[in-house]
Chains A and B, each alone.
Chain A
Amino acid sequence: MGKILEINGPLVKLELPQTVLGEQVRVGRLGLVGEVISRDGNTALAQLYEDTAGLCPGEEAEGLGWPLSVELGPGLLGGIFDGVQRPLQAMWEQSGDRIARGVAVASLPRDRRWHFVPDPGRRAGMPLFGGEVLGTVQETESIQHRILVPPQVQGELLELAPEGEHTVEDVIGRVRLADGRIEKLHLFHRWPVRTPRPFRQRDHAVAPLITGQRILDTFYPLLKGGKAAIPGPFGAGKTMLQHQVARWCNAQIVIYVGCGERGNELTDVLESMPTLTDPHTGRPLMERTLLVANTSNMPVVAREASIYVGITLAEYFRDQGYDVVMVADSTSRWAEALREVAGRLGQMPVEEGYPAYLGSRLAAFYERAGRVETLAGDHGSVTLIGAVSPPGGDFSEPVTSHTKEIIQTFWALSKELADARHYPAVDWLESFSGYVSSAAKWWADNIDPGWEAARAAALDLLAASEELQRIVNLVGVEALSSEQRWTLEAASLIKEGLLQQAATDEVDSFASPEKQFALLTALLDIHRQGMKLVKLGAPARRLIQMPLLAQARRWKSQHSSDDLEALKAKIAAIPAAFEPLLLEYAPAAPSSAMEEIRP
């Protein structure tokens, strides 16, 4: 038993001999919990997850003997937890609207019974290895929770419970370890959040994560098991884009970590998710979703812990063989929490007050993403999407620039686009994806071999229009040739008819890969057909007046992903729309010219 020596904000100096770095401590009359971050002789410095007001020097302190850990077992999905995995719903019922200090509530419900079905291949006397599947619990309609042997346990299975109802604390099996000790197995186990969960080996990421957002899937793809960042100044639509990804992506589990963000945003997710349907399974989205919430007004140290809690939960579902997406909103707030503690420790600041280890901590965190072969021999993945909130929208600041070196997909949000209400405001010039060639294989196999070329053509068009726009800004559009004006118009068609996507529009909110590809090729076709005419001498002005262009801009919100036949019919009619002009400008040989311009 030790005692408090000094209180300075969230940091408390303790007289606590024999404590270990990272150990959890409980201090004071209120029993506030924290972790040891440094030791010097008999004194230790601890950061507390709760506000320290009211603590007095001289009050008691004790080490708990374990590092910050999470409970992993059935009862996680559909829940909302704080930065140290306390269940917020249960705390609300127990202690009211405000988060009182010193409240201890078990992460997983203790009284709920789950229907456990043992793995049919397991018999008493068989060897058992860490990470193997003991049996299953149907946690939600769409997700089967696989009960895993804790990774560090290895031995001989002595006993396994038959099919039946169990609480998470019931003993469902016993194992004799190599040293002869008997280990009891439960429906859940604990894992320290700062230690990555083990796996057999890393796999290549092969399949793209389909988010239903055209600018992401078609232009800057992310793979399942990949790492992405969404940087953007405030008001650029970062949160909206992350919500869209969390809603529509084809992962089996989505973990949304609200790290130092707005309370109302989490409420929005909590209220809207149960009413939305997963387009891939037809089940309510909440069944596959789990929220970790440490809003900006909650204590700063728990904010630092929250992303580790989130990633450990993600790894746990990965180890069950699932594809997991974790969205961390925002890693900048996490970095600021790191900075705040470093500042109080008096550590030498490097850039913008951040400690020197910012880059290495960020890199180590993102490395916990990946597609792996699990200890049980399955394949699972953790895809990590981190939002970055650069101060003043300046991408050269430390968190953004470090992150940019670590991730492979960069979805840069632009204030200019957002101001013009071009959503999602993903800047097509600043963004990049290192996964295009891997994604191209998937698109070629599953959708169309022409994907990679079409994507490149559209990007070329956008880049060309950027050049032309600069000229227009100097001397006006009249100075451009017809060909150039048509290029400009076609690029604007792609921006408005393809890149812009209304999250609030029921039809437009999600686009299947088929719809994305259909729209992409349709708009490119319009460009190509028009360009032929321009080359025959038709002035761009005539083409720009064609009603087809206004119509094509509406296609995205007129046809849902299930209604592609009608869209394809409209696409097939594109050449017909150009026919009158064609007759005018190539009257001599309309039929042969027609042949020529058909693809």
Chain B
Amino acid sequence: MKNIEFRTAASAQGGLVVMAGVPGVAAGSRVQLRDHAGRVRSGLVIRSANDAVLVEVFEGTDALDLERTWVRFLEEPYKLPVSRDMLGRVFNGSGRPCDGRPPVISADRRDINGEPLNPAARAYPREFIQTGISAIDGMNSLTRGQKLPIFSGGGLPHNRVAAQIVRQAKLLGEEAAEFVVVFAAFGASHADARFFQESFEESGVLNKVVMFLNLADEPVIERLLTPRAALTAAEYLAFDLDYHVLVVMTDMTAYAEALREVAVLRGDVPARKGYPGYLYSDLAELYERAGRIKNRRGSITMIPVLSMPSDDITHPIPDLTGYITEGQIVLGRELSNQGVYPPVTVLPSLSRLMKDGIGKNFTREDHPRVASQLFASYAKALEVRGLAAIIGAEELSDADRRTLAFADAFERRFINQSEDEDRSIHETLNLAWDLLSMLPPESLIRVSEEELAKYHKGAA
């Protein structure tokens, strides 16, 4: 059947083609379409019955003449050839090379949908990854095997933050050589794609990066393949070749919108804001491919970037993402407007796996409590700042004024850093104590009394 071309397309609309009279086609099977101009497009079977087969065409159905369209069913799922030679290469959104170099030759071709990892086979992420960014390392630490998204908004510097993480991320100690990056962009602008490419080039990591690019003017349905192809490459590098893989995916909002577009065409019942009810499961299939596996050396750490439509964190895309990922780094417009970079809004940011990757034996003993104290003191300080805005700073008590000064210093010195500033975790924690020392020791109840005596600069 693989070699038979069917010319029975019955209807076509917005990326979907209905084939009539093709019995026994496997669900999920890959399809090749040849149009009247001889151009070959690929697609997937998304619904199969004996009398009608529904095919999703990645390149879209524009200029398709039903009478002059020939379709072959390849009887296998969409697969990606994997090999060590992928490193340093650039692929398009469906995994074909687009850097002008020859295709990757490999007998090892993997189903891009992957298979769910057995929860019993997972190893819990524990090793601290130093990103050199204080707001992340100090208060929302990343661990190896974690999925920690960046929630951003249009016009915020999420790409610069992601690139800085890629440049600076390292494990304390060893294994720097085994670290590689899989970068996937869907719906990205040409400028963004070039920014990443140049940033990797400048820092000399380009030969350790595999890029999958589906740009903003490329087919929308292809975006459903891009992250899957990228993650298939990442899984191969991590669990077959023992690399520690950092996966950066941007922008998940473009992915979810593509999913919605296809769902509407299929006639799926919409749930929230027109997104299909399976958006959660679909996102989870991607995000949950991060992690570590027992008895394997490699790991997949994932940093998905998503722009929150109208900066709304309750929008379905950030909301469902937050329920699946292990925390989130939230970028804020207010800080960004004040010239703070990276504009990490720490209060809604969170790293769920932080507690197990920091402290004694990992970073420094006082780290967990210092982080907790910074959160509490800054939250308190923001309350005071809100009050000062109403009643005026003159009316504040001395204690409140000190708190205000702390908030300013925290934003200017702790969160703010330059794009090429790589702070070690010790520098970050020492800086934290410098700032906490601006506050009276008795107000710092999250840290222990011994730590106060040791680090607080105002303590006797």
Residue of B nearest to A13 (CB): B49
Q: Are A421 and B26 in touch, CB under 8 angstroms?
A: no
* Of the residues A266, A300, A336, contact of B119 by C-beta under 8 Å: A266
Q: Are A97 and B391 in touch, CB under 8 angstroms?
A: no
Q: Are A339 and B355 in touch, CB under 8 angstroms?
A: no
Within 8 Å CB of B356, what residues of A? 268
* Of the residues B124, B320, B323, B347, contact of A264 by C-beta under 8 Å: B124
Residue of B nearest to A391 (CB): B319
Residue of B nearest to A52 (CB): B27
One of B201-209, B275-283, B412-420 contacting the partner: B275-283
| B244 CB, nearest partner CB in chain A, Å | 17
Q: Are B47 and A8 in touch, CB under 8 angstroms?
A: yes
Within 8 Å CB of B293, what residues of A? 97
B interface bracket (residues with beta carbon within 8 Å of A): 35 or more
| B78 CB, nearest partner CB in chain A, Å | 10
Complex: how many Å from CA A472 to CA B400?
A: 13
Within 8 Å CB of A352, what residues of B? 271-272
Given contacts A52-B27, A57-B23, contact A92 B118 (CB under 8 A): yes
Q: Are A297 and B289 in touch, CB under 8 angstroms?
A: yes
Within 8 Å CB of A267, what residues of B? 119, 122-124
Within 8 Å CB of A340, what residues of B? 277-278, 281
Q: Are A339 and B442 in touch, CB under 8 angstroms?
A: no
- Cβ of B322 within 8 Å of any chain A Cβ, yes or no, is yes
| B286 CB, nearest partner CB in chain A, Å | 8
Complex: how many Å from CA A235 to CA B375?
A: 14
Within 8 Å CB of B285, what residues of A? 296-297
- Cβ of B65 within 8 Å of any chain A Cβ, yes or no, is no
Question: What number of A residues sit within 8 Å (CB to CB) of B?
Answer: 80
Q: Are B395 and A263 in touch, CB under 8 angstroms?
A: no
Q: Are A297 and B26 in touch, CB under 8 angstroms?
A: no
- Cβ of A293 within 8 Å of any chain B Cβ, yes or no, is yes
* Of the residues A8, A88, A389, A392, contact of B314 by C-beta under 8 Å: A392
Q: Are B26 and A56 in touch, CB under 8 angstroms?
A: yes
Within 8 Å CB of A553, what residues of B? 445
Given contacts A336-B277, A553-B445, contact A5 B284 (CB under 8 A): no
Complex: how many Å from CA A86 to CA B326?
A: 26
- Cβ of B386 within 8 Å of any chain A Cβ, yes or no, is yes
One of A196-204, A316-324, A435-443, A474-482 contacting the partner: A474-482
Q: Name the interface residues of B17-35: CB closer than 8 Å to any CB of A.
A: 23-29
Q: Are A260 and B280 in touch, CB under 8 angstroms?
A: yes
Q: Are A235 and B122 in touch, CB under 8 angstroms?
A: no
Q: Name the interface residues of A1-31: CB closer than 8 Å to any CB of B.
A: 5-9, 13
Within 8 Å CB of B27, what residues of A? 7, 52-56
CB 8 Å contact bits of A395-418 with B (1 = contact, 0 = none): 000000000000000000001001
Q: Are A268 and B277 in touch, CB under 8 angstroms?
A: no
Within 8 Å CB of A5, what residues of B? 49-50
Within 8 Å CB of B342, what residues of A? none
- Cβ of A394 within 8 Å of any chain B Cβ, yes or no, is yes
Within 8 Å CB of B313, what residues of A? 392
List 5 contacting pairs A-B, 8 Å CB cutoff, sorted by A: A51-B113, A98-B121, A235-B350, A267-B123, A333-B280
Q: Which residues of A contact B (CB under 8 A)?
A: 5-9, 13, 51-58, 80, 88-89, 91-92, 96-101, 233-235, 239, 258, 260, 262-264, 266-268, 270-271, 293, 295-300, 333, 336, 339-340, 342-344, 346, 349, 352-353, 389, 391-394, 415, 418-421, 472-478, 496, 504, 547, 550, 553-554
Report, nearest first, the 7 A-B pairs whose CB atoms are least far apart.
Answer: A392-B314, A53-B28, A296-B284, A6-B49, A297-B288, A234-B322, A343-B269
Known contacts A353-B272, A476-B395; 14 additional CB pairs below 8 A are A5-B50, A6-B49, A52-B27, A56-B26, A88-B118, A98-B117, A98-B118, A233-B322, A258-B119, A264-B124, A267-B122, A415-B348, A476-B391, A477-B397
